[in-house]
Amino acid sequence: MDAKTVGEAIRKEMPHLDFVVWDLAPLKPYLHYWRKNIVFIECEKIAARVLAECLSARPDFSKAHFFLGVRRPKRLSSLDRPEHDFNVVILARAREKEPELEEKIAELILFSFNGSIPMRLGDVLGAVALCFEGKKASIPKFHKYMTERYLGWFANIVLYKFSKRFKIEGIRGPHIERGKRNLVAIKEVDEFE
């Protein structure tokens, strides 16, 4: 199932819904070990769960796993299928146009890192590296988007390191946990070949 087919299904089920749909198609040539497509749907938060339920009731979505959320989409176990051929990630946030390739890459890195999609970070990084090598994506655009959108995880790493070295009040447990996890991810990126 691809983004176009999913978009058509959404228009039939919820014709007045404003949404953006995209998938892994631009990265497929670089994802050597990944065969199942992931379709991302971005829509208003209020409609996200209803959309998941409408699509899951359709026969053509009978082999889909559904994920729902904003920054950390979670698998909807109530809509699980024993077998699946593709994944649908519904992001409860409004966007006016389809994201550029660099934004898609940034989203995939984040979602694979935090375990929100069933793709290993190493597989995503490999595809991204090949994409950059082939000059299909702009590194400055990618860097700008990552900085604007996800600089918070750098702050968590700093807070984690501060918590190990200094006695500073106000550093909360979630910052420490996220910072530690982010530092592990950076080490994995550093060791990636």
Domain spans in the chain, listed from the N-terminal domain onward: 3-147, 151-191
Q: What DSSP character marks residue 172?
A: -
Nearest to 95 by CA among 21, 6, 38, 8: 21
**pLDDT score of 14:** 93
List all residues 6 or more positions away from 95 whose beta carbon is below 8 Å from its beta carbon: 20, 42
Q: Which of 161 and 83 is assigned the larger pLDDT?
A: 161
pTM of the shown model: 0.77
Residue 42 is predicted with a pLDDT of 92
Q: What per-residue confidence (pLDDT) applies to 17? A: 92
